[in-house]
Amino acid sequence: MIEFRDVGKRFADGTVGLESLSLTAREGEITVLVGPSGCGKTTSLRTVNRMVEPTSGAVLLAGRDVAQGDPAELRRGIGYVIQQAGLFPHRRVIDNVATVPVLQGLSRREARARAAEVLERVGLDDALAQRWPAQLSGGQQQRVGVARALAGDAPVLLMDEPFSAVDPVVRVELQDELLRLQADLGKTILFVTHDIDEAIRLGDRVAVLRVGGRLAQFAPPDELLAQPVDDFVSGFVGRDRGYRRLGFLPATALRLVDLPTRADANGDTAGPAVPGEWTVLLDGSERPAAWLGPDGARHDLGSVYVTDGDDAAADAAGTLRGALDAALSSPAGRGVAVDGAGRYRGGVDTDDVLALLDRSAPR
């Protein structure tokens, strides 16, 4: 648990970095700090490992004031991931990751063994362990940075805009990887970003900061989207917050409808199952492969609604957002629903989704 108690920071030139920040990052959760440039996100993060010393207040880690004790020892017990990974260019990947275990007293052989385990956990191939950082892609470097932070087995992980320097596709992959790791490891993570979409996707709770280091709102993502406290938060969260909130609303009450289906184990796609009807084409494993139009022509499925996916990457599984995406992206005017294994479950009607959304709206 990380607790900020009235933490303030005023720099030598008089600039206020933080103003009486009070919040608690709960154990085993991802707490995200988000806000515009100059709001004190990184300053807040760095007070935890004492890379920035506050001028007032206190930061407590597991109930202990971080100002008490040796800063170097404190930092060895906290994982730290920064933008563009910050790898040592003169060390191979395996030795970059082994750095903290060596500092903690493990032999080089033991540290490399632990590093190899962590590299596998973050999804990096063994062949990359002997490469130099310059030989890796940006996404691979960030994975190594995460692995290095995890190698010390610290309960707390600080992440300062770790995914902002990679392209959007890789960024989503890294977010998925973090969610998967968190589901397995249950670290206490303090995560800094300027991207509200990333904050909402990753955070168990999100702290929105104003310029000048003042806390505007601290709440779970659903509450932040549904009930922003003022115009600043509302504007920062964005005009489409209603749609994004759908990702936090369960669709358990959604009625699935029957759709015409047709087996296509032999690749025969001549004509729909029901003349004049849109038909779902199923492969030999009962997974939807395509739509057949009323004229028998084959069409792309569009998005599918995953009813019960348990993969962290399937963040719209079982939600109204996933159901509405499927319905609106379908050429047939109805979406296709599948289970977590991708097998056909039924259809999704747009009107049913909108009616359920209306019942879920705050009153």
Whether residue 267 is found in the same domain as residue 321: yes
CA torsion, ordered 323, 329, 331, 332, to nearest 10 deg:
10
3 state SS of 135:
helix
Q: What is the pLDDT of residues 233-260, one digit of tens each?
A: 988 888 777 777 777 777 888 889 999 9
In a domain, 216, yes or no: yes
Burial class for 305, CB neighbours closer than 10 Å (0-12, 13-18, 19+): buried
How many CA atoms lie within 13 Å of 360's alpha carbon, on the beta-carbon side?
23
What pLDDT, on a 0 to 100 scale, did the predictor assign at position 311?
Answer: 45
Whether residue 269 is found in the same domain as residue 228: no
Whether residue 235 is found in the same domain as residue 268: no
Whether residue 176 is found in the same domain as residue 119: yes
Burial state string for 28-39 with b = 16 or more CB within 10 A and e = fewer than 16: ebbbbbbbeeeb
CATH number of the domain at 165, please. 3.40.50.300
Whether residue 78 is found in the same domain as residue 164: yes
Residue 71: how many other CB atoms lie within 10 Å: 13
Boundary residue ending a domain (222, 247, 272): 247
Q: How far is CA 114 from CA 2, 99, 131, 153, 158, in A?
A: 27, 11, 17, 10, 20
**Max alpha carbon distance in the chain (Å)?**
77
How many CA atoms lie within 13 Å of 101's alpha carbon, on the beta-carbon side?
23
Whether residue 31 is found in the same domain as residue 157: yes
In a domain, 76, yes or no: yes
Instruction: Please give the tally of structural domains in the chain.
Output: 2
Q: 159: part of which helix (H) or strand (E)?
A: strand 156-160
What pLDDT, on a 0 to 100 scale, did the predictor assign at position 82?
Answer: 85
Rounded Cα distance, 344 and 287, in Å: 5
Full residue range of the structural domain in which residue 30 is found: 2-247
In a domain, 252, yes or no: no
Whether residue 282 is found in the same domain as residue 229: no
What pLDDT, on a 0 to 100 scale, did the predictor assign at position 266?
Answer: 54
CATH number of the domain at 297, please. 3.10.580
Q: What is the pLDDT along the chain (363 residues), one digit of tens a residue?
A: 899 999 999 988 888 889 999 999 999 999 999 999 889 999 999 999 999 999 999 999 988 999 998 998 898 889 998 877 688 889 999 999 998 889 888 899 999 999 999 898 888 888 899 999 999 888 888 889 888 888 888 899 999 998 887 788 888 888 888 898 898 889 999 999 998 989 998 999 999 999 888 999 999 998 898 889 999 998 888 877 777 777 777 788 888 999 998 887 455 545 556 677 899 999 888 999 999 988 888 899 888 888 875 444 445 668 888 888 898 899 998 999 998 888 999 999 988 888 887 776 655
Boundary residue ending a domain (214, 247, 280): 247
Residue pair 61/68 in contact by the 8 Å Cβ criterion: no
In a domain, 255, yes or no: no
Name the percent of the chain in helix, strand, coil, to the closest 5.
35, 25, 40
The first and second tokens of residue 324, run together, are 């509405």
Boundary residue ending a domain (223, 247, 271): 247
